[in-house]
Copies of this chain bind each other. A is one copy, B any other.
Amino acid sequence: MFLKIVYRRNYYIYTTIITYSMEENKYVTIYDIAERLNLATSTISRALKDHHTISEKTIKKVKKTAEEMGFVPNTLAAGLRGNKTKTIGVLIPTVTQPFLSSLISGIEIAAQKSGYTVIIMQSHDSSEEEVNMAKSLYSNRVSGVICSLAMETRDTSHFLQFSNNNIPLVFVDRVPKDFNTFRVVIDNYSAGYKATKHLIDQGCTRIAHLTAGSEFGNLYNERKRGYTEALRDHNLPVDEELIVNLKSVTYEAGVKASNKLFDLNPIPDGIFAPGDIIAVSAVQTAKKRGLKVPEDVAVIGFNNDPISEIIDPNLSTITHPAEKMGKAAAEIIIKNLKSAKQDEVKEITFLNTEVLVRESSARK
């Protein structure tokens, strides 16, 4: 047993060397390693990061000891000190929607590759919660934020705290109308156009459209615009009674709207739904009423959710590159974190969609 001197903060303590014990109910710090190796904390810190000014030998020794002692860096301290956390905050309506879980998956893949941690928060489509979680992300000093807006959100001023502080902010899919920041979206207009055109190509002439959302979110409006343009381009009338607005994007709302359509005379011979759950509700309502899909009514959905392959008949749909969008969003953040100043012109990334033809719309 011998004595050694350990420097810690601005005073010295004399202490005896003890064997490190696994029982120790305490976090191991770089002080502990420094003490053990008779080195300065700064040396430890640098060695652990493979700093070039530290000798190979020391690096090896420090790493070995750190491992032995069960050292795990305190990201709070590092974050506080360096004012950066290598954390990406993700603020989305819910994780239960297949599109959004795929989005997360993509974000995580890109984040992990660059050593970033992802923290996910759900707004449950409530503006109030969204405001709180945005504050919480800010409070946690995330390096960047990826967000898909809550359905009810109109005022987006709670995102100013990020842009005002140079924290990269990327909106995905449900993006605000007028916020000068990055956005990753699909071309909803052309997707709506493609879906409608596909039904027209199948011989449908009386095509209904279920739509949703407030005037604020332009996502559904864009799909609707694609729908009406496609009709016009093919000399089909735009019949207001064939356009039904849903209050929410749920199965129940879809059933209600479908019944409304099937009560018409004549019924529509094609339905373009802006989501697979809605499309599924339309298919099942049709079947329940003795209508044949696609013979009596062809149906196409949106998103390519897992259920689209389960339902009988299999659902035609529009593929949405969710995972790619997630990757793209994360990469924008990481890239902009590296370059000191952010791009003045905020880029908009458009990703491709495709018509995926399955049984529910294959009439020929």
> Which A residues have a C-beta under 8 Å from some C-beta of B?
22-23, 25-27, 70, 72-77, 79-80, 85, 94-96, 98, 101-102, 104-105, 108, 117-122, 135-136, 138-141, 161, 164-166, 280, 284, 287, 306-307, 310-312
Contacts and interface: CB of A to CB of B under 8 A. Distances in A.
A117 B140 contact: yes
A360 to B, nearest CB: 13
Given A306-B307, A310-B311, A76 B141 contact: yes
Contacts of A310: 280, 284, 307, 310-311
Contacts of A139: 72-75
Given A22-B164, A70-B161, A141 B311 contact: no
A169 to B, nearest CB: 14
A76 B70 contact: no
Nearest to A140: B75
Contacts of A135: 72
A117 B101 CA distance: 19
Q: Which one of A70, A76, A105, A165 has the highest number of Cβ atoms from chain B below 10 Å of its Cβ? A: A76
Contacts of A74: 80, 139, 141
Contacts of A98: 96
Contact of A117 (B73, B136, B280): B136
A77 B27 CA distance: 17
Contacts of A118: 120-121
Contacts of A70: 161
Nearest 4 CB-CB pairs, A to B?
A: A96-B101, A76-B80, A95-B95, A119-B119
Nearest to A97: B101
